Amino acid sequence: MSKVAYVFPGQGAQTVGMGKQLFDAFPEARAVFEAADDALSEKLTKLIFEGPEEALKLTANTQPAILTVSVAAHAVFRKRGPAPDFVAGHSLGEYSALVAAGALALPDAVRSVRARGTFMQEAVPEGVGAMAAVIGLAPDKVKAVCDECAEGQVLQPANYNDPTQTVIAGHATAVERASAKLKEAGARRVLPLPVSAPFHCALMEPVKPRLREVLARLEVRAPSPPVVTNVEARPNADAARVVPLLVDQVTASVRWVECVQALARLGVTRFVELGPGQALSGMVKRIDRGLTCRNVEDSKSLEEALA
């Protein structure tokens, strides 16, 4: 019997109006949005549905917004679709996965990612850090160029998204140096990313003690089903390891290729992407053409995923 994994998107998937259709059509989705508003004592839902886009793009808002929409999509699909054997999330999406696995309560997760986003925004002065997506070059070659171009600065692969796309992060000048070198090494394109901070690299080190303090106060339960984590790319069902892995995740690379490969080895053939956009669906198919991935973000995609 083939197994099912639920996967949850990270930052970059946000759009004004995301989740509105689920909110209007399904009471269980509405309950998630209302719980998020209550947890933050503010109208996050209004910002998600109406914008302005500039405010939604601020990391401190983006993170709780995507988490809320993803958990709402999960609430709707879980009621109607097959139970997952595993869950996983891309960066921020790991928090959505932990809510889906019953490890974190939704209000705690919403407040935690608001803090996480705020700490990330504050960790590096604007203009000091940067990120870029490298298209069409093998990940080991990307890593080699990062090592060569660092020159004493921070420069490392931040996200191993699929076999042809690796995102790099670090000091802006180092990312710039590497961009030219990566094109020389054969990259099809190197695209600067419009992000407010250089995520998943050593420049995020100041975030870790602040986030650890926030997460240490939470009640954490054993994830069921297990969560395949970004840091280790293998399943975790141990409550005691949830917080250390989330803290390490801040500076560690997102090993998404390995996460998907690990799930495939565990017998997963069907993936359901819950939340805004279809970024993970595309990545899953590029990692392994034998896998299927359906996304759920509105009634139409819900029907297609259930079919």
Angle among Cα 210, 107, 14 to the nearest 5 degrees reads 80
91 catalytic residue (yes or no): yes
CB–CB of 233/89 below 8 Å?
no
Identify the active-site residue in 74, 90, 171, 200.
200
The answer to whether 74 is a known catalytic residue is no
Find all residues with CB under 8 Å of 144, minimum gap 6, and list them.
none
Contact 157, 253 (CB under 8 A): yes
Q: Which of 74, 90, 91, 171 is catalytic?
A: 91
Alpha helices in the chain (DSSP H): 20-25, 27-40, 44-50, 53-56, 59-80, 93-100, 106-123, 139-149, 172-184, 207-216, 239-249, 256-265, 279-287, 299-306
Calpha distance 257→123 (Å, rounded): 27
Q: Point out the residues that are catalytic.
A: 91, 200
